Amino acid sequence: MSYEAPLKEMQFVLKELADINAIAQHPGFEDATPDMVEAILKEAGKLASLVIEPLNNIGDQQGSRLENGVVVNPDGFKEAYQQFVENGWPGLHQPTEFDGQGLPFLMQSAVSEMWNASNMAFALCPMLTAGAIEAINAHGSDEIKKTYLPKMVSGEWTGTMNLTEPQAGSDLSAVRTQATKEGDHYLIKGSKIFITWGDHEMTDNIAHLVLARLPDAPEGVKGISLFIVPKYLINEDGSLGERNDAKAVSLEHKLGIHASPTCVMSFGDETGAVGYLIGEENNGLSCMFTMMNHARLEVGMEGVGLSEGAYQHALAYAKDRTQGYSPGSEGRVSIIHHADVRRMLMQMKAFTEAGRALAYVAAGAHDHAYQSTDEKVADFQRRRMDLLTPIVKAWCTEVAQEVTSLGVQVHGGMGFIEETGAAQYMRDARIITIYEGTTGIQAGDLIGRKVLRDKGATVSELIAELNEFETTLKAQSGDDFAIMSTQFSAALKAVTESTKWVLEKGMETPHSAGAASVNYLMLMGTVLGGWLMAKSALAAQREIDAGSTDEFFKTKILTARFYAEHILPRSEAYATTVQSGVGAIMDLSIENF
């Protein structure tokens, strides 16, 4: 099995759905010409197939391990990372000011998909670094920026995010790590857990961003500050100095992403770890929030990448494995001839394409929002991005659970054998609905901050667009479109009524919104996926009408039809559940569970 980036599909989505050509008009994005986009995707695809994917199984089997205080990565990871750096991938979307290429986030999302599809454990290292760069760039002093960003943008150094403590997971207000001021710096003392790529030997230095509390800080989230704590202190001339008092003391033994060292980090075991303040004191949480949109969209992309990887893996097996007979075929057939295997593959394919469409559209909204010179456009796109972000994060990752599990199922008994590789996608995927805010947290964000807070203004704007689209879809002739239209209308009704319910009843009891939230989010994801699939089908039909005989377009229409027949009908089930509200959920006393 070798992963091949679906270049044609990616280009289609970038152009037809995510508006890459309009994005390239924004100042700063002039380089994102169609030729450049094509060339970048092609090069990234090569690296993913030839260098990164071949390490995926090795990484899973060997894992990263802690030996004598040093994190040892699986064979080949350091070399692959060096090639990744030499080719300039860490800087793709980073500011030109710090020697990045300044290309759209949308482009970053497309190449991220490839890194995740080929080796998610590997992809996490630059992904976390990009998050750290963003926080430093938005809130760091000029000196800190000058010291760290060029090295991090080039990938010579990596970055980590140190948020979680044993008692502070989803609830960061419980953070206890301490920081005390000492001259121009702070001394950090405390323990952090679940620190992704918290230590490794792939680079000379690592910049840890650490949430901690000053001695007299207020309780709760308003008393948290953000610090940068380098693994090696940096001399005035920029050369590396002493080892800082910050180290990985153990690695977690995890279900998946074995190659990614998940560290327990200890800061200040001895004298205290030297750290420097990022942003204002006690304003650390809002510094973290800066990068949250990015990070959540990136995790959604992990879902898309893993889904694509699992799909390609299962497809290759289904074409190869001979078993049983099929109506209309002579002799034994490869299992892709069996209708139920075909159904599973179509389900994987349709979900993956819908997830990709939604994630790219959200990434495009991000670029418009930050880069458009038209304030109205920027405002509109920022609202859209804010609304879509929790949906992309949660829905694309929940979908990945289903897709990667189907990938195992397509393999039959072989899927349960680790050497086959199908199970790894499923194991790796199991973290993505959890970290960077669980599905429940995303759903709470969606229903609380994105729907209820502005009294439905943003979501109504989107629903209005869906209504317009319904008219367009209805007008398209042909059986495939008639089916899409029927199912889309039913789904749109489901989302409209459920949104009305949320706005009217979401605050009825203290738990109404919380009880309904995940089903509401899944409903939104399902319907938006159906919208974008149908929109893709219309674009494909235009190409066919214009004379194209490329099978890609016919395939796109059939996949959209499958989505309408097999996935969109779930919308009404989600809607019924949303509208049952808190129902029986909170009535059972805890002892009676």
Crossing angle of helices 551-566 and 512-545, in 10° steps, is 150
How big is the CA angle at 287 (ends 232 and 29), to the nearest 5 degrees? 90
As a whole number of angstroms, the distance between CA 158 and CA 278 comes to 17
CB 281 to its own copies: min, Å: 24
Pick 88 or 440: Cβ nearer its own copies:
440
Pick 244 or 266: Cβ nearer its own copies:
266
Q: Tell me which H or E stretch contains 342.
A: helix 339-371
- Three-class SS of residue 363? helix
Pick 142 or 551: Cβ nearer its own copies:
551
Whether 106 and 14 have beta carbons less than 8 Å apart is answered as yes
Pick 195 or 214: Cβ nearer its own copies:
195
What does the block give as tokens for 64? 């990263």
Rg for the chain (alpha carbons), in Å?
Answer: 24
As a whole number of angstroms, the distance between CA 487 and CA 282 comes to 50
Pick 2 or 322: Cβ nearer its own copies:
322
- DSSP code string of 469-535: HHHHHHHS-SHHHHHHHHHHHHHHHHHHHHHHHHHHHTTSSTTHHHHHHHHHHHHHHHHHHHHHHHH
Whether 464 and 531 have beta carbons less than 8 Å apart is answered as no
What does the block give as tokens for 247? 């180290």
- 436 labelled catalytic: yes
Whether 274 and 75 have beta carbons less than 8 Å apart is answered as no
CB 56 to its own copies: min, Å: 16
Pick 105 or 488: Cβ nearer its own copies:
488
Exposure string (b/e) for 395-431, b if CB count within 10 Å is 16 or more?
A: bbbbbbbebbbbbbbbbeeebeeeebbbbbbbbbbbb
Q: Tell me which H or E stretch contains 278.
A: strand 273-278
Q: What one-character DSSP code corresponds to residue 52?
A: I
CB 357 to its own copies: min, Å: 17
Pick 87 or 580: Cβ nearer its own copies:
580
CB 79 to its own copies: min, Å: 27
Catalytic residue chosen out of the listed positions 53, 353, 436, 470: 436
What does the block give as tokens for 137? 């760039």
CB 487 to its own copies: min, Å: 8
What does the block give as tokens for 169? 């997971």
Pick 233 or 315: Cβ nearer its own copies:
315
Sign of torsion over alpha carbons 540, 543, 545, 548: negative
Pick 159 or 437: Cβ nearer its own copies:
437
As a whole number of angstroms, the distance between CA 40 and CA 93 comes to 12
- DSSP code string of 425-474: HHHHHTTTTTSSS-HHHHHHIIIIIIIITTTTHHHHHHHHHHHHHHHHHH
CB 340 to its own copies: min, Å: 4
* Contact partners, residue 129, CB within 8 Å, separation at least 6: 90, 152, 155, 157, 158, 159
CB 327 to its own copies: min, Å: 3
Whether 108 and 115 have beta carbons less than 8 Å apart is answered as no
CB 386 to its own copies: min, Å: 21
* Contact partners, residue 57, CB within 8 Å, separation at least 6: 421, 424
Pick 119 or 381: Cβ nearer its own copies:
119
Hey, which residues are catalytic here? 436
